[in-house]
Amino acid sequence: MTDLYDRPGHLARRFQQIAVAIFHAEVAAAGFDLTPVQYAALAEVAVRPGIDQATLAGRIAYDRTTITGVVDRLAQKGFLTRDLSPRDRRARVLMVTKAGEEVLAAIEPAVDAAQRKMLDGLTPEEVGTFLALLKKAINAGNALSRAPLKVG
Amino acid sequence: MTDLYDRPGHLARRFQQIAVAIFHAEVAAAGFDLTPVQYAALAEVAVRPGIDQATLAGRIAYDRTTITGVVDRLAQKGFLTRDLSPRDRRARVLMVTKAGEEVLAAIEPAVDAAQRKMLDGLTPEEVGTFLALLKKAINAGNALSRAPLKVG
DNA sequence: AAATTATAGTAAGTATACTGATTATCGGTA
DNA sequence: TACCGATAATCAGTATACTTACTATAATTT
């Protein structure tokens, strides 16, 4: 039987675990309190003001039901607003507030530092190889996820 | 700013998400109901009968508090027993039951198939490169996680 | 236009994961 | 031996993630 420590599933979880820990540490050290999901959602809404929750979920590859809670907490923190869409009364229109924009700008160095630290053990060349292969594997498996990425 | 889709943190989460979905799909198709954590914990206890929860957590890189719940559910399903240690009355001694051993044996093909599917998009050579780099990155960041791997 | 189907958001329930605190116990030391 | 710092397990609380189901509304078909 294959050793647990060589299994893609085990390694995937551990890498993600480490990535989240680094993100939290860097962001907290900079004085902020955003989680990785909250950051991704907020950044996406900033790029696409007025986006609805389902589209947002597809663009950052999260489940609809998870996004409900994430948006809830972001609204509670005053970083974005959620209003009924005039065009589609089922949908909610999301907008980043001034406070949200300020946080996004201020938090960016910490987020970038975190991304670098996650691959600190690899040489620059290895980083390129690794990310390319990771993306290739993800693309092949995208449809198998409950929350596939939907862009374009 | 770096594109979200090129960020290690985002890619790490997506790969893990896909890996978990594949695991569930394969295991469910084979007629079982074990989660990835539950499988890892059960398999480790099978290899080290009598292990305590803290050591188990360290060997599969999970948080102590998470393992409490995982062991709870495994015990509830009748796959392992949890008894007070005669040597250390703080610790619980874990043992796989006969039912647990049967499940472990029966589930193995599904688990192996899942591991293969996770990297279906890569050539055999790329799989080797990818896993080596993934392990290298994890080793470098291991200490930064709340639940670092503790072996040996 | 009426009926059907699909979609947006939410809610309930379960299972990770994490932080921080508590309890019981152990091991070493004053 | 009495204390004291460390450790095993648990608990409370928060935040992902997932499944399933429900409500309201939109889009499509008949």
Q: How confident is the model at residue B1 (pLDDT cuts 50, 70, 90)?
A: low
Question: What is the C-alpha to C-alpha distance for residues A31 and B118, in angstroms, rounded to an integer?
Answer: 37
From the number of C-beta atoms within 10 Å of its C-beta (0-12, 13-18, 19+), residue B60 rates as buried
Q: How confident is the model at residue B150 (pLDDT cuts 50, 70, 90)?
A: confident
Q: Does the beta-carbon distance from A2 to B112 stay under 8 Å?
A: yes
HSE-up of residue B42 (Cα within 13 Å, Cβ side):
29
| DSSP for B11-55, written as a single string | HHHHHHHHHHHHHHHHHHHTT----HHHHHHHHHHHHSTT--HHH
Q: What's the pLDDT score for residue A1? A: 55
List beta partners, residue B94: B82
Closest partner CB to A119 (pick from B1, B8, B114)? B8
Q: Does the beta-carbon distance from A12 to B118 stay under 8 Å?
A: yes
Backbone angles phi, psi at A94, to 5 degrees: -105, 140
Q: Does the beta-carbon distance from B126 to A133 stay under 8 Å?
A: yes
Which H or E element spans position B81? strand B80-84
Closest partner CB to B122 (pick from A25, A40, A137)? A137
B4 DSSP 8-state letter = G
pTM (predicted TM-score): 0.94
| DSSP for chain A, written as a single string | ---GGG-HHHHHHHHHHHHHHHHHHHHHHTT----HHHHHHHHHHHHSTT-BHHHHHHHHT--HHHHHHHHHHHHHTTSEEEEE-SS-TT-EEEEE-HHHHHHHHHHHHHHHHHHHHHTTTS-HHHHHHHHHHHHHHHHHHGGGSSS-----
**pLDDT, tens digit (0-9, with 9 covering 90-100), for A56-80:** 999 999 999 999 999 999 999 999 9
Question: Could you say which residues 101-140 of protein chain A have a Cβ atom less than 7 A away from any atom in strand C?
Answer: none
Does the CB of B143 sit below 7 A from strand C? no
Question: What is the C-alpha to C-alpha distance for residues A129 and A75, in angstroms, rounded to an integer?
Answer: 38
Q: What's the pLDDT score for residue B149? A: 85
Measured in angstroms, the CA of A30 and the nearest CA of chain B are apart by 17
What is the average per-residue pLDDT within A23-46? 96
Which H or E element spans position B84? strand B80-84
List beta partners, residue A83: A93
What is the average per-residue pLDDT within A43-61? 97
**By C-alpha distance, which of A151, A33, A73 is closest to B14?**
A151
Which residues in A lie closer than 8 A to residue B36 (C-beta atoms)?
Answer: 9, 13
Q: What's the pLDDT score for residue B152? A: 67
Question: What is the C-alpha to C-alpha distance for residues A36 and A3, in angstroms, rounded to an integer?
Answer: 31
Question: What is the C-alpha to C-alpha distance for residues B88 and B67, in angstroms, rounded to an integer?
Answer: 19
Which residues in A lie closer than 8 A to residue B133 (C-beta atoms)?
Answer: 122, 126, 129-130, 133
Which residues in B lie closer than 8 A to residue A65 (C-beta atoms)?
Answer: none
Does the CB of A39 sit below 7 A from strand D? no
Q: Does the beta-carbon distance from A130 to B131 stay under 8 Å?
A: no
